Structure 1
Amino acid sequence: MKKRKLITGMVVLLMGISMALSAQKKITGIYRTMNDYLDNQLAYPADSSHTPAIKLYTLAPKSYVTLQYKGEHLHLNKNEIFAYRLTNGEVYRIIGNHSYQVLNNNARLLLYKRKIPASPKEGPEDQFKYYFSPGNGNLQALTAWNVKQAFADHATLPDQIDALFKRDAELLTYDSFHKMYKLEWLLK
Structure 2
Amino acid sequence: MNKEAFKEKLFKEVYENHWLKLYLHLLKMVDDEDDAKDIVQEVFTNLWNNFDNIGINTSYSAYLYSSVRNRAINYLAHKKVIVDHEKYQEGQAQNQYFNSPDVFLIEKELANQINSEIDNLPPKMAEIFRKSRLENKSYKEIAEELEIAENTVKKQVSRALRLMREKFLHIKYYLFFL
Would you tell me which structure has more helix in proportion to its own residues?
Answer: 2
Whose strand fraction is larger, Structure 1's or Structure 2's?
Answer: 1
TM-score (norm 2): 0.29
- TM-score after normalising by structure 1: 0.28
